[in-house]
Structure 1
Amino acid sequence: MSRSPRPGSQPSRRRFLGMAAGVPLAAVTADLTIGAGAAHAADSAYVMGYFTESPSGLGTDYGLHLAVSTDALQWMPLNQNNPVVTPTAGAGGLRDPFIMRKQDGTFVVLATDLKGTDWSYNSQYIHVWDSTDLRSFTGYRRLKLHDMVTHSWAPEAYWDAGRGRYAILYSSVNSSGHNVIMVNYTTDFRSASAPQVFFDPGYDVIDANMTVGVNGVNYMYFKNNGQQKLVGTRSTSLDPGSFTLFGTPVSHGGTEAPTIVKSLTSNTWYMWGDTYNPNGIFYAWRTTDLAAGTWTELSQRDYTQPLSSKHNTIETITSGEYDNLVAHWGRPAWNRLKSYNFPDRYVRHAGFAGRIDPYPFDPYSDAQWKLVPGLADSSGVSFQSVNYPTRYLRHYSYQLRLDVNDGSSAFAQDATFHRTAGLADSTWASFRSHNYPTRYIRHSDYALRIDPVSTATERADATFSIVY
């Protein structure tokens, strides 16, 4: 759930997606069992739900946000990264949203009833919405799960075919005195059975994420809240108390909120994990053998989380649903630029100087750019600041800085660049100066400048990914 590192704080899970940008959506020819249920044969993309937090709160919002992807790795926020729906009851905000396609093909959205970081707020309820298409949300309500004086953190659900009901997993402090994974069963997400302890290893656990029916085995990952690690369990049944530990735990400096998703085009599984601090950093791992329980961490070159996103959920969708979501909520009117050799850093302005800094930071809008036709040559590109729209990234004495467009020819040329295939990776991008065509934008000691490029290090310094 993404909270400060204290016992009894945090829940999370979901899946991945990739960027739109005109990429054709791959077709899938067979049903795939992923997370809460089976992906439709037509599913070829993904939707992610999340809330947002940023270091000083400028990007913080406790409503439901959506992003889409075609590869479960590169994500495009919808609605300009603004919320698409916000709770109106309980705490008036949400954390840890979960999106699941139900057996009838429609969606249900669940979320923790909590706004902000008041971990002493104990809600016996969770937020619930229905949606046919994730473009509108109806039937908002809160579902009561228990009568205990404790929370209901990070709800997730899956279809239990043997019981003919949905199971809702969440974290609560039971009579044991530490967080355990609880379960309630429901047919309609309007009423639920009495709670049961689903999993209790004897220590504080939160953020259970279920993957059902992979070669007859069910997998549940959770956060060991004491060790700040993601831990795997498995069972051949879905009975409470039947899951046993297996595999090798993973973490990256303290990790929570596991979300597992399978690629729709290969035998690769991805696991996302969130940091427990409010900085909003995701890490990702991959495996081609879920049964082995071992994961390899991905480079941040390989994936891009939505801006300021926390505690994600991922569900598969069809290409038509993908297109409809983009058409309804809109693509971002801005981009970010990720460094190739420092993929945790993004191009930004600070004190009106161009540089690359580690994500996340505030103001987050310092790293948002409108890529507009070049001021001196429309076949090129100029970088217009989102939060200072009269200013553009330009070079001056070979250093890049953010200056007000004075309308001069000299300014237009200094602020115009030509995109080329990435000098270090042709799938990325490099930017050649318009009026100094032997020089490219690169970083040196994290400061941006234009320089001639010849060595492998310089080529890496001059290579960037255009992301959202």
Structure 2
Amino acid sequence: MRRLIARVVTAVLAALAVLTTGTPAHPAEPTSPAVTFTNPIAEQRADPHIYKHTDGYYYFTATVPAYDRIVMRRATTLQGLSTAAETTIWTKRASGEMGAHIWAPEIHFIDGKWYVYFAAGASNDIWKIRPYVLETSAANPLTGTWTEKGRIALPLDTFSLDATTFVHNGTRYLSWAQNDPAVGSGTNIYLARMSNPWTITGTPVRISTPTHAWETVGHRVNEGPAVIQRNGKVFMTFSASATDSNYCLGLLTASASADLMNPASWAKNGQPVFKSNDATGQYGPGHNSFTVSEDGRSDILVYHDRNYRDISGDPLNDPNRRTRYQKLYWNADGTPNFGIPVADGITPVRFSSYNFPDRFIRHWEFRAKLEPNVTNLADSQFRVVPGLAGSGTVSLESANYPGHYLRHKNFEVWVEKNDGSTTFRNDASFHQRAGLVDSADGVSFESYNFPGRYLRHYDYLLHVQPADTTTARADATFYAE
């Protein structure tokens, strides 16, 4: 009954709008429209970090397999970083400190200057890993002269790495990973206030220790903290377990009004939020950073992984971690939804309903339907790929079931595996049209083999039906998000 009432209300509002304005009712467009990328972005680049600056450029740095230098590239678009020229901005010292294992550089712009945070060993003790800082006042950090500000002094002189910095409520913080022999083997996540970009002040606090099974495979690891602040919360991702296919992302959360220096302010998710996926062929996703799309309306997850599970020897000697992007989504409760590491190639999008903006196309037991609050994100993500039938068509491939597509069968829409038949190719192909009731921003999908019939929802189930009424046209209009 509630569905019927909703449909009646929608139809009445649409009819009134047409009568008074000549156009259908226009619900709010998405605040975060679709962004797509082609992965991977950079081969043999691990621990990626991207900074979007006010000069219109994205600055990208990452670990190189030789562990001997810091590289950087810039571009005005995120995808453009994949082909941008790369510059070596600093090379390891020939001897002493900063002479080995140059790891996990991050680029930040603070108080008018550029800073690079990185970890390094010593030439005579390559596992004496500590955090260091470089500085330049050049407008373009790729061409600047870098000054070594030296090691970040920490109370414990032990294995420590992956320093990152962020500002919250006017205070700058440093977070990093470090071993404390009193706690046990492996690394924990620490937090401290900063008095300047290379100096901490006060006593650091330990906010996370690897205790769950998924944090302790191969090694006891919490490392690579990265912060994103949204919806009244401070979210800190971190990487866990050995750097093979067991590597994954965990999540810490604190209230924006809490004392971040109180370990009790931080809650850890009981399960990883991002992990290997056999279906998409992505393994060991981790050591991420966050950035935003060119228009600032979408949050972007930047991370590395491999496209194979099995590694011969020490994973640290395997050079093939690749930098990748995908859009970060947000659940209705304000928490981040990372989904799964998607397949190589074009990244997927979600499709929200024009007339039910909180509902998305998703599959449930392979039936395509419209639902709100799809926390199993990949059920509602589809790659728009060249149509299986050709002829300028598109097909919608499931993100979590690669090789499966939205197809109509008896005019009902299902997600099914491509069986290679002509019938399947035709049923799974559509002509992508401008939205039937919002041609500027919306999108509609007309059946390839039944012209005049469109992908539409009815009673929240997807069908291929004629779009011959105002309600039907609204039901057949979607927004890519």
Q: TM-score, normalised by structure 2?
A: 0.48
Identify the structure with bigger relative contact order (alpha carbons < 8 Å, sequence gap 6+): 1
Rg comparison, structure with higher value: 2
Q: TM-score, normalised by structure 1?
A: 0.50
